[in-house]
Each structure stands twice: as structure tokens, then as C-alpha cells.
């Protein structure tokens, strides 16, 4: 399969901004990359939108632009020309577009400095961002159980969130409901449990869909480190998310 200019641009965006998912995608079959690169490029564009300006209104407008893209794709009509939106429209179903709309909506939290309201709010944020991204990726490649994929996405999402905490705190955000050692360890334990539960049901994710979960990376090692030494979350010394044998996972299909 030949990559056109748009797909090449999407791959370049992912390579620059999300090396872990770029590496995971390059380990996937070439056919799967046509789905994963536009999706991951979309995620990057949405995730960065709240951070490129100090003006909340402008950030809201940037997110709304992507919500409009999701609506256009979901309605099945013409989709605006854009190097990411155009190839994305060719690989999404209407339901997947609506799922990504919830992802964009969840990113509004990133614009402001309010703390999460409660545990349910935090869990919804992780599920609607990391979980929805992984679910759309998996369902776009092949048959998969949504609960299993979202459990895996939650574990990976919390691990990535732990990595982001030092920067979030530096920027005046309140990233955790309970930032004590006990609170951090408890959240890590919960996330690890969901990830382990997903891995115990690998058979519910088809071989075709498995590359969407390669980006889990070393999430389990990160969560285990946070359980043993919660202070490593705050000081930024957690294990790297990309420190894992991807070639073995690609060959075995075990994520």
C-alpha cells in the first residue's frame, strides 16, 4: 500500500510528537498503519490544542474545530480538507467519529485550572481520552471486546498521566485528587488491576486488532514502580514508557 501525502504527513506528526505510538505503529502491518497514523495524528492535534495558547476562548475554538470534523465524519457528508481530517474521514465509522467527539470534549479540562470533581470525573477523563483512543484504534483494525480494550486503555492512560504530572504541576494544574503517597499508590494499584484484567482476556482481542494495544508499552512497569515508590511520580523518575521489547510483542501478538 502506498502512502499519499496526507498519510505521510500524519506519520511525520506522530513520529515527532508521540514516539511511543509511532514505534508501535511501525511494528503493525502496513495495512493497519493507514488506520493508526491518522488516528494518532488526530489525537496529537487535539491534545495540543489547549496548550498552544493562554486564551481560553481560542483553545475552545480549536477544540470545537475538531468536534466539527467529528460531526462531519459522523454525518457521512463532505469533510473539510486537512492533512489529518481528510485521511481520518476515510477510516472512521459514524460511531467511531462520535466516540472521538467525546475525546475532544474531555480535553476541555486541559484548558482550565480546575481540579477534577471526584474519582468518577477523573476516571471519565482517562477513559474518554486514552480509553476511547485505544478503542477506536482497535475496533478500526478488527474484532475486539470493548471492555477489555478500555481496561487496557485505562491502565496505559494512568501510566502516561503519571509521567505528565511533574509538568502539569509546574504549570499550575491539579492533576490528582489525592497526591499523597497513599493516594498515588492506590490509583496505580487500581490502574494496574484493570490492565492485568485486560491482559488475562487477550483472547477477546483479535489478532488484527492487537496492534492498537502495542502502545501500552511499559505501562505495567510504570504502575508497579508507582505502587512501590509513589514519590517517583512527583520527581519524574518513573521507568520510561517505551522501554519494552516491541519486536517480541509484534511477533507474538502479546500486549
Distance CA 208, CA 143 (A): 7
**Predicted local distance difference test score (pLDDT) of residue 245:** 80
Provide the phi-psi class of 171: left if phi over 0, else alpha when psi is between -120 and 50, else beta. alpha
Q: Can you give the pTM of this predicted structure?
A: 0.95
Task: Check: CB of residue 113 under 8 Å from CB of residue 172.
Answer: yes
Residue 233 CA to residue 226 CA, distance in Å, equals: 6
Q: For residue 144, what are the β-bridge partners? A: 205
Determine the pLDDT at residue 85: 98
- Each of the 255 residues of the chain gets a pLDDT tens digit; together they read 568 999 999 999 999 999 999 999 999 999 999 999 999 999 999 999 999 999 999 999 999 999 999 999 999 989 999 999 999 999 999 999 999 999 999 999 999 999 999 999 999 999 999 999 999 999 999 999 999 999 999 999 999 999 999 999 999 999 999 999 999 999 999 999 999 999 999 999 999 999 999 999 899 999 999 999 999 999 999 999 988 887 777 777 778
* pLDDT on residue 247: 77
Q: Cα(218)–Cα(62) distance, rounded to whole angstroms?
A: 32
CB atoms within 10 A of CB 228: 10
Q: What nine digits make up the cell of 35?
A: 488506520
- For residues 130 and 153, the answer to whether their CB atoms sit within 8 Å is yes
What integer pLDDT is reported at residue 2 of this predicted model? 67
Amino acid at each position: 500500500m502506498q502512502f499519499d501525502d496526507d498519510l505521510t504527513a500524519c506519520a511525520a506528526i506522530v513520529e515527532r510528537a508521540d514516539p511511543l505510538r509511532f514505534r508501535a505503529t511501525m511494528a503493525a502491518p502496513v495495512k493497519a498503519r493507514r488506520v493508526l497514523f491518522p488516528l494518532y495524528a488526530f489525537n496529537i492535534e487535539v491534545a495540543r490544542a489547549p496548550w498552544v495558547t493562554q486564551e481560553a476562548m481560542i483553545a475552545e475554538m480549536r477544540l470545537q474545530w475538531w468536534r466539527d470534523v467529528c460531526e462531519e465524519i459522523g454525518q457521512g457528508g463532505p469533510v473539510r480538507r486537512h492533512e489529518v481530517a481528510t485521511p481520518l474521514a476515510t477510516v472512521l465509522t459514524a460511531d467511531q467519529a462520535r466516540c472521538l467527539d467525546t475525546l475532544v470534549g474531555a480535553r476541555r479540562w486541559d484548558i482550565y485550572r480546575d481540579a477534577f470533581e471526584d474519582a468518577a470525573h477523573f476516571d471519565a477523563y482517562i477513559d474518554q481520552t486514552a480509553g476511547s483512543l485505544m478503542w477506536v484504534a482497535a475496533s478500526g483494525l478488527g474484532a475486539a471486546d470493548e471492555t477489555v480494550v478500555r481496561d487496557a486503555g485505562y491502565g496505559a492512560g494512568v501510566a502516561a498521566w503519571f509521567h505528565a504530572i511533574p509538568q502539569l504541576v509546574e504549570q499550575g494544574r491539579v492533576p490528582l485528587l489525592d497526591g499523597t503517597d497513599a493516594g498515588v499508590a492506590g490509583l496505580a494499584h487500581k490502574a494496574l488491576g484493570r490492565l492485568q484484567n485486560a491482559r488475562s482476556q487477550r483472547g477477546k482481542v483479535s489478532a488484527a486488532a492487537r496492534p492498537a494495544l502495542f502502545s501500552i508499552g511499559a505501562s505495567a512497569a510504570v504502575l508497579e514502580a508507582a505502587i512501590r515508590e509513589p514519590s517517583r511520580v512527583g520527581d519524574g523518575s518513573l521507568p520510561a514508557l517505551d522501554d519494552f521489547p516491541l519486536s517480541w510483542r509484534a511477533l507474538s501478538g502479546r500486549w
